[in-house]
Amino acid sequence: MVIMCFCGFGLAHVPAMYVLGASLLDVGNNNYFPKLSKANYNPYGIDFPGGKATGRFSNGKNSGDCLAEMLGLVPPRPYFDLIFHTNNTAEFLKGVNFASASAGILDSTNEGNCIPFSKQVDFFNETVEAIAKQIGFEQTHEHISKSFIVINVGSNDIMVATGDGLDHEEYVFLLISTLRPLLKDIYHLGARKFVILSTGAEGCLPMFRAKTKTGDCHFHANLLSKSYNMRLASLLEELQSTYDDFRYSFFDMLIAFKELYKNRKTYGFIEGEVACCGTGKFNGTSQCSVGTVPCSNRSDHMFWDCVHYTEEAAKVLMNLAFQGSTPFVYPINVKQLSELPPSYQSRAIE
């Protein structure tokens, strides 16, 4: 079933979004650190309001932006933008984006080039504590329990570990074992509603197509992504069975990508393999750099650069997450999750 994207459903059930992950969701946190991966230069942001390069790895809005708009929310500001430019902790009540491009589940993934996921969880902890000092514990717990925790992490762990000799099961076990206590930490800070975006078809990114002799998708990268997504889905089921008030919507971006690629013309796309901005084969041998001239027909392309989607592709994917159904999103979609009543007084099963 084809569901075309539109933003701005205007739901008022969710007071805020707290966003953690990597470049799919980053809105500028890395801008504040000289050595971290950045997209704060043109032509990034060429289609963003004002044509501004904000640090989003997109020609315009990213997946988190569209998801926020669908919920009737203003996309949350970068954590470090709030830390450095305001002393008003009331801003934290509007939501915060902690995501950092190049981040992984493992602290060793792109170490020194990102804010790892574990550190993002620490920052979320500090944010919850700051809110509690302002409005008290009970009100903070209620606020966080009604808010959405949006997470997309794991892609970078896969991209740095796609060698033929890699033990896939052992590596995925390591990723899930590392992620499990971090998700529990977020839960114990009051979070009850999770939107989990899985890894996509990493092997079909222009960067990986450029590495294969035939130009086909990279087999091992996709295999690793599929294995990780299956174990991630199982982890979420495990957490829901452990905590009776743990609620989630899981979006399988690998399956969704296959749907989008297969039926790209129906969704309004012409080019599903070559990036709009970049160099070399599939425009996938290097990141879109300063001075690179991007394609003029950006809305026809699924990929903006060697790794990231265009704004139009992100909108379509997030629409599937928002109001789609199995096999793309389950056990409920994001819209259904937003309509669930809060259950913040429940406690974990001992």
Q: Which residues are catalytic?
A: 23, 305, 308
Q: Which helix (H) or strand (E) holds 148?
A: strand 148-152
Tell me how many degrees the CA angle 147-253-22 measures, rounded to the nearest 5. Answer: 60
Beginning with the edge strand found earlier in the chain, give each strand of the sheet holding 96-97 in spatial order: 77-78, 96-97, 17-21, 148-152, 193-197, 247-251, 329-330
3-state secondary structure of 81: helix
Chain centroid to Cα 26, Å, comes to: 8
**Phi and psi dihedrals of 231, rounded to 5?**
-70, -35
Q: Among residues 175, 166, 87, 99, which one has the least CA distance to residue 133?
A: 87
What is the rounded CA–CA span in Å between residue 264 and residue 216? 17
CA distance 55 to 75: 14
Q: By the 8 A CB rule, do 232 and 186 touch?
A: no
Structure tokens at 350: 């001992």
In 3D space, the residue among 272, 257, 243, 273 whose CA is nearest the CA of residue 327 turns out to be: 257
Pair type for strands 96-97 and 148-152: unpaired
Distances (CA, A) of 318 to 28, 29, 129, 329: 20, 22, 31, 10
